[in-house]
């Protein structure tokens, strides 16, 4: 299993009139989490795009246990539990210290620049094979 941790400090812009982080604003945090994880794997998402691949979200889910508040520093923990084949399935936890606030997942498919589903590039597959050995 691969895991990465990304600290995030809550912006005022991310709160809503309930006084807490708007539920939709956790999704960019998950994105920060997987950007970090892919970078730590030596597979920056920016490079994947530069080589003609994109990884759109095809499914996601989120559960909200406790709200994050303005100026909190939280940690997004991102986990890749299984070696990705055609799809990438990532799991997320948002924690404030040890306290669990939110969990979620995203599933991604590889597409090319014209939007057609494609197999992941060889360098991606090889790197993942090595990391999951």
| Residues annotated as catalytic (active site), given as ranges | 16
Tokens of 82: 């299984």
Please tell me whether residue 75 binds a copy of itself under the rule CB under 8 A: no
- Does 60 interact with a copy of itself (rule: CB under 8 A)? yes
Q: Which stretch binds a copy of itself (CB under 8 A): 44-52, 73-81, 84-92, 122-130?
A: 44-52
Asked if residue 9 binds a copy of itself (CB under 8 A), the reply is yes
CA distance linking residue 71 with residue 103, whole number of Å: 20
| Shortest reach from residue 74's CB to a copy of itself, in Å | 15
Of 3, 5, 41, 67, the one binding a copy of itself by CB under 8 A: 67
Chain-centroid distance of CA 50 in Å reads 19
Residue pair 1/133 in contact by the 8 Å Cβ criterion: no
Cβ count near 14 (within 10 Å):
18
Stretch that binds a copy of itself, among 23-31, 79-87, 89-97, 121-129 (CB under 8 A): 23-31
Say if CB 74 and CB 116 are below 8 A apart. Answer: no
117 binds a copy of itself (CB under 8 A): no
55 vs 19: CA distance, rounded Å = 33
DSSP secondary structure, 2-16, as one string: EEEEEEEEPPGGGB-
Query: Rounded to the nearest whole angstrom, what is the least distance from the CB of residue 21 to a copy of itself in the complex?
Result: 9
Rule CB under 8 A: which residues touch a copy of itself?
A: 9, 11-20, 22-25, 27-28, 31-32, 35, 44-46, 54, 56-64, 67, 70-71, 115
């Amino acid at each position: 299993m691969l895991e990465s941790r990304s600290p995030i400090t809550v912006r005022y812009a991310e709160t809503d009139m309930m006084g807490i982080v708007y539920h939709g604003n956790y999704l960019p945090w998950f994105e920060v989490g997987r950007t970090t994880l892919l970078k730590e794997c030596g597979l920056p998402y920016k490079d994947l795009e530069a080589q003609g691949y994109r990884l759109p979200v095809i499914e996601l889910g989120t559960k909200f246990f406790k709200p994050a508040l303005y100026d909190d520093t939280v940690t997004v923990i991102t986990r890749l539990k299984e070696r990705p084949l055609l799809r990438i399935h990532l799991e997320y936890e948002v924690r404030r210290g040890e306290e669990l606030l939110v969990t979620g997942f995203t599933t991604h498919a590889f597409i090319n620049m014209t939007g057609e589903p494609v197999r992941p590039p060889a360098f991606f597959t090889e790197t993942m094979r090595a990391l999951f050995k």
